[in-house]
Structure 1
Amino acid sequence: MWVIFLFQINGYETNGCYGVIPRTFVGLKGILFSPLFHSGWKHIISNSIPLAFLSFLALLMYGRLAYYVIFFGWIISGMILWLIGNPPFLDEIASCHIGASSIVYLLASFIFFSGIIRKERGLMAISLVIILLYGGMIWGMVPQEILPQLKSDVGNNPISWEGHLSGFITGVFFAYLFRRIGPQKEQPKWEQENYYDPREEQLWQMYQEHEQLKNEYIESLENNHNIEDKDSSHS
């Protein structure tokens, strides 16, 4: 996306919109290209820093799975944006949605919810970091028409809350879909199949010996008591 942006600022203008134009045939190409185009320096920098950090975390914690999440999440979030962007009850005209913020929201929600769902301590710690650093991103999914005080411009264009919401939904979906792939909560040894610990066998033998001695002692007490009863009856 930086290569394309450098071409843009050096006069290589692209004709038309390469972003998602909701519910239009021409806007379908934006599903592939929209994250690569940005409206200005502020726009691309505001996306690049969290994108680099979250990509690093995803690759560090999930390895190859992170590539699948980014690739398929890129496509699916773009499709959702194409469907829900510029809803008629809020916008009369469908605009051109560009920027990698949908991928940022995709990774943030995937990392956060994966840690919660898997209940693995290391991943839950990462989830806490995500909520501390990016918890405020939740407001980026609220339509500005509903809360005008949240109105914000990135570059020369208003933010695409629909793109943010699309990425967020896709991240949650992948967190649940891939919940059994990658790092998992460590299962206690005693709950693992075919678990065997020789110390447990020793403890079981000791318990059995103890129970046998206890039973023998109780039996001897009962025998002694019976003998005393007989002697007292004879006397």
Structure 2
Amino acid sequence: MGLAGQAGQPPPTRDEKWPGWKVGGATILTFVALLYLIELVDLLTGHSLDRNGIRPLETDGLKGILFAPLLHADWGHLVANTVPALVLGFLVTLAGMSRFVWATAIIWILGGLGTWLLGNIDRCPLGTNHVGASGLIFGWLGFLLVFGWLTRHVWQILISLAVLFIYGGILWGAVPALSGCGGVSWQGHLSGAVAGVLAAYWLSKPEREARRRRGAATPPGPLG
């Protein structure tokens, strides 16, 4: 026999809303799972999807701006991108899901456009079909490195320092002379990183303007 609640009192309720870090974690896990699903489909279709990468300066290659971050050359390529995507993508979500979506969109489009414009510049006789999420990863990295300093949020600055310490070394992958041959798209890395910095600047505008207003409202100190 069940126990009845006290008369006149509503049944207990609980807050069903997930905290931001859970939403961010679920979002990034879902995105990476999607990458694995797409790579499986690509494998089963004889890598037919890979032809939808960014082909620089070709009109038909513009569609690769939308598809390239979802495609990978093989499982090894995808596995190499998995941990940085999970870590850096999750850290960007901590700036807020709205900012994460906008930052990702800016990096995706501007980084892809930069790759389309620069992708044929290379000292090695490599193919010019650019695929992989590394441009997006470099964009998230660039965003994280500067966003905290622009907003002056202490915890975001700490994230910037931690990211620089742990992942700063991969920035060498955006330097043409050091990327070497072997299929590394330094153009995609560089374009993504620049797009990430631009995204951080644009999306930190509310904090920068609030700081400017506070500075304008502060009366001058006494004359010496």
TM over 0.5: yes
Q: Could you give the per-residue CA deviations for residues 89-132 of structure 1, whole angstroms, max 9, x where no partner exists?
A: x3567610000000000001001111122222111100011101
SS, match of residue 205 in structure 2? coil
Segments of 5+ residues of structure 1 without an aligned counterpart are 194-235
Alpha-carbon RMSD across the aligned residues, in angstroms, is 2.7
Q: Could you give the per-residue CA deviations for residues 169-217 of structure 1, whole angstroms, max 9, x where no partner exists?
A: 0011111112224x78x97xx9897xxxxxxxxxxxxxxxxxxxxxxxx
Tell me the equivalent position of 1:203: none
1:83 correspondence with 2:108: no
Tell me the equivalent position of 2:81: 47
Q: Could you give the per-residue CA deviations for residues 131-175 of structure 1, whole angstroms, max 9, x where no partner exists?
A: 0111111210112xx34xx5464xxxx110000001000011111
Alignment map for 1:1-235 (pairs within 5 Å)? 1-14=35-48, 17-87=51-121, 90=123, 95-143=128-176, 146-147=177-178, 150-151=179-180, 153=182, 158-181=183-206
CA 15–128 in structure 1, closer or farther in 2 if over 3 Å, else same: closer
CA 135–13 in structure 1, closer or farther in 2 if over 3 Å, else same: closer
CA 102–38 in structure 1, closer or farther in 2 if over 3 Å, else same: same
* Aligned mates of 1:12, 1:34 — CA distance in 2: 17
2:111–2:135 Cα contact (<8 Å) kept: yes
SS, match of residue 73 in structure 2? coil
Size of the aligned set, in residue pairs, is 182
TM-score with structure 1 setting the length: 0.69
2:50–2:131 Cα contact (<8 Å) kept: no
SS, match of residue 51 in structure 2? coil
1:72 is displaced (CA, Å) by 2.6
2:175–2:186 Cα contact (<8 Å) kept: yes
> Looking at CA atoms only, which structure, 1 or 2, has the larger radius of gyration?
1
Q: Could you give the per-residue CA deviations for residues 17-71 of structure 1, whole angstroms, max 9, x where no partner exists?
A: 1111111112111101111110112210111211111111111223311111102
Identity level (%): 32
